[in-house]
Amino acid sequence: MADVDDLMQKCPLKHEIRVKFWAPFIRKLKRAPISYLTLYSPPLMDVKYFNHCGYIKAVNGKYSDVVGVTVDKDAFADSNSSLDNRLELLLPGNINDLLNGKNKSTFAKQLESKFPFDVINLDYTDALHKYSIELELSPHFQAIETILKKQKTKDKYTLFLTTYVDLNIYNENFLNDLKEILDDNIKNTVGFYEKFQAVCNCENATEFMKTNSNNFFVISLLKYILLFLKDYGYTLKEAGIKWIVRDAKEPTRSMLHLAFLIETFVPVPASGRKIVGKRINKVEEESIKYIKDVYSSIAESTDYDNLFERHSVQINDFNNRTFELDVPEPKSE
């Protein structure tokens, strides 16, 4: 965890994600301050930046309505022993276990009591379904489903999802499911095949995965997430896709960042008797909008220096920032 935390603390590419990708999606909620669930990293760069933007309040030495979950026992101990960098609630444990019922501790109950949130940031740094996981739904996807269930009382919210993409480390059955989902879209979703063929120049999912594995993963994963949204009665207001390519040294690592602005599905008012019972949530058709040949990306080899120049002052400021707690004036004798 220390290497990941150090990277999150100093990396100008990751800060570009906070500034130009995450913050604009939070702005679309038109709501401030927000409640926020995040995977805790000791630098707290995401929380500090959102506080800087006015989306998160800092009151009496704590970031209000912010919940963090950490698997790092040292980070948990350090946070609870210091006067700076405190969240309103920091919970030890694996967020998947806390959400999915595997961990039945007091911490799991505390997390459940804080739902729903305005913004949830699942900034995973690993694969969503590793090759070694022989479950129908990986713990990551079980957590996503649990979140959708617990968010039902929130009519609009933002979900951020980050994952490492290298198909060689993904479960083969999961990849086959993604291919089936994509092929089903190609065959049965009106307008999907025409745009898919024109943009990707492919006829089916197998061909697409061979010619452009990253784009295959983006489109099929997006459709997969949309099916979850449909099952829980949500629609998609907007989605965003952004890559970080860490290619300064071998092997190259591609990190996919997704953003979803999610709303409760509300049928359009009936214009007549015949439409009643036929106003179907077609959220999966939103995937057509996001079929692209090239997705927005930033890479260490080409963008690091410019982004360092752009963000270094703010990164250093956030790393050095602590809470200045009010000290009461001494009482007169």
In a domain, 205, yes or no: no
Low-confidence spans in the chain with pLDDT less than 50: 1, 81, 83, 324-333
In a domain, 213, yes or no: no
> Which residues, at least 6 apart from 280, have a Cβ–Cβ distance to it below 8 Å?
none
How much is the pLDDT for 5?
A: 55
How much is the pLDDT for 128?
A: 96
How much is the pLDDT for 278?
A: 73
Task: Identify the helix (H) or strand (E) that includes residue 49.
Answer: helix 45-53
In a domain, 150, yes or no: yes
In a domain, 230, yes or no: yes
Percent of the chain with pLDDT over 70: 90
pTM of the model: 0.91
User: Residue 216 in contact with residue 208, Cβ under 8 Å?
Assistant: yes
In a domain, 183, yes or no: no
Q: Tally the domains of the chain.
A: 1
In a domain, 116, yes or no: yes
In a domain, 303, yes or no: yes
How far, CA to CA in Å, does 121 sit from each of 40, 46, 175, 197? 10, 10, 24, 33
CATH number of 13's domain = 3.40.50.150
How much is the pLDDT for 328?
A: 37
Question: Which tens digit of pLDDT belongs to each residue from 171-224?
Answer: 999 999 999 999 999 999 989 999 999 999 999 999 999 999 999 999 999 999
In a domain, 200, yes or no: no
Residue type, 173: N
**Which domain, by its residues, includes 248?**
2-169+221-285+297-320
> How would DSSP label each residue in 61-117?
TEEEEEEEEES-HHHHHHHHHSSSSEEEEEEES-HHHHHHTS--SHHHHHHHHH---
